[in-house]
Chains A and B, each alone.
Chain A
């Protein structure tokens, strides 16, 4: 964990296909935010966004790195994954659109709610993807206003 006066940053590595560990990273992120004493409603929003992002890596990508950045003004979560990428981002952002397999659905996921739900919980959400290479997400939740 990198730590200076005004900023805290931590990286988490996620392995694609490893369903047994799916959700561990987001649970750790939630615990970090709880330890710092962030508003519980903001923690839930970030925890949901992190969990959805983590599950996307587990379900679709080979590997990914989540980076949590905390400053007095905002929480930022960056995801960079190596995987198939997303052909049509507009379609992926539509609720209900999903390319999930039966295995993913048996885990209770793959309903096509993930990316729209991340966007809903974020104050700022950016997504970019290169098919065949991977996907990047940038999720920001502001701390200086009531969520």
Chain B
């Protein structure tokens, strides 16, 4: 799924990274807790979060997340936006709540990074 499709599905606003909308996204994870993103995130994911301070962008950069979607209409602060520009991480903002935003993406085929063992 491209970032452009994600933007349309979530009726999201692009905060920075307009030129990156062709980016291909293959998995995503949602959390407001950066500790958990660092523990369970995987390189290449789209991060959905409601945490709008600069640590969200730093965390995304550290784990090599491809892009961030802020949920519940949140928007990052100036420091976060600057950092995202510098690191080439597109930032989007959607008014959907976390559950709905994740559900919309998942139901359109974007998989998660679940660690549950497969049942035999």
Write the residues of chain A forming the contact surface with B, with a CB cutoff of 8 angstroms: 20, 22-23, 26-27, 30, 40-41, 44, 47-48, 51-52, 106-114, 116-117, 120
Instruction: Tell me if A's interface is mostly helix, strand, loop or mixed.
Output: helix
Contacts of A23 in B (CB 8 A): 54-55, 58-59, 62
- Are B62's CB and A44's CB within 8 A? yes
Say whether B56 faces chain A, with CB atoms less than 8 Å apart.
yes
Contacts of B32 in A (CB 8 A): 108
B contacts with A, residue count (CB < 8 A)? 22
A-B contact pairs, 26 of them (CB 8 A): A20-B79, A22-B55, A23-B55, A23-B58, A23-B59, A26-B58, A40-B43, A47-B62, A47-B63, A48-B38, A48-B62, A48-B63, A51-B38, A107-B53, A108-B32, A108-B33, A108-B35, A108-B37, A108-B49, A108-B56, A108-B59, A109-B33, A109-B55, A113-B36, A113-B38, A113-B39
Smallest CB-CB separation from B33: which chain A residue? Answer: A111
Tell me the residues in window 27-84 of chain B with beta carbons closer than 8 Å to chain A beta carbons. Answer: 32-39, 43, 49, 51, 53-56, 58-59, 61-64, 79
Write the residues of chain B forming the contact surface with A, with a CB cutoff of 8 angstroms: 32-39, 43, 49, 51, 53-56, 58-59, 61-64, 79
- State whether A40 and B64 are in contact (beta carbons under 8 Å apart), knowing that A23-B55, A27-B58, A51-B58 are contacts in the complex: yes
**Among A47, A113, A117: residue with most chain B CB under 10 A:** A113
- Are A108's CB and B34's CB within 8 A? yes
**Of the residues A20, A107, A112, contact of B34 by C-beta under 8 Å:** A107
Contacts of A120 in B (CB 8 A): 39
**Of the residues A30, A114, A116, contact of B61 by C-beta under 8 Å:** A30
- Are A110's CB and B35's CB within 8 A? yes
- Are B51's CB and A108's CB within 8 A? yes
B62 to chain A, nearest CB (A): 5
- Are B62's CB and A30's CB within 8 A? yes
3 A-B pairs with least C-beta separation? A108-B34, A111-B35, A23-B58
**Of the residues A44, A111, A116, contact of B63 by C-beta under 8 Å:** A44
